[in-house]
Amino acid sequence: MDGVHFDIGEKGQVEIGDYCYFTNAVLLCELELRIGSYVVIGWNATLTDTDFHPIAPAERIADAIACSPLGKTLARPEIVKRPVVIEDGVWIGPNATILKGVHIGAGALVEAGAMVSRDVPPRSRVMGNPAQIIGEV
């Protein structure tokens, strides 16, 4: 773990396997991040299991009020959280982003700058925004 930033909520669970190398990655967890063994994560890559805010406009306004000094007694609206699972032997390139609910199969390669919002099959190579399968490893 070289310069890795963790932000783990009170109910968040992070599990990291053996022989991994992460450099300046950002791991944001409110529910669950599960990372296998022999995983490499490049600099400035981000893994997150939530958006940290509601998506619907009315809920975003309610959330902003609840987080403001005026909303001391108001509860924040429910925010969607879904586990992120990275299987063994995955390489995630620099500046890639892995979003909530994504499952990346064993041996996959996520190219630099990819925005991964859907599952990645084992031994697949993905790139782009949104990430698309461009080949096999």
Q: What residues are labeled active site?
A: 53
Q: Where are the beta strands (DSSP E) in 1-137?
A: 5-8, 13-16, 21-22, 26-29, 32-35, 40-41, 46-48, 84-86, 91-92, 97-98, 103-104, 109-110, 115-116, 124-127, 132-136
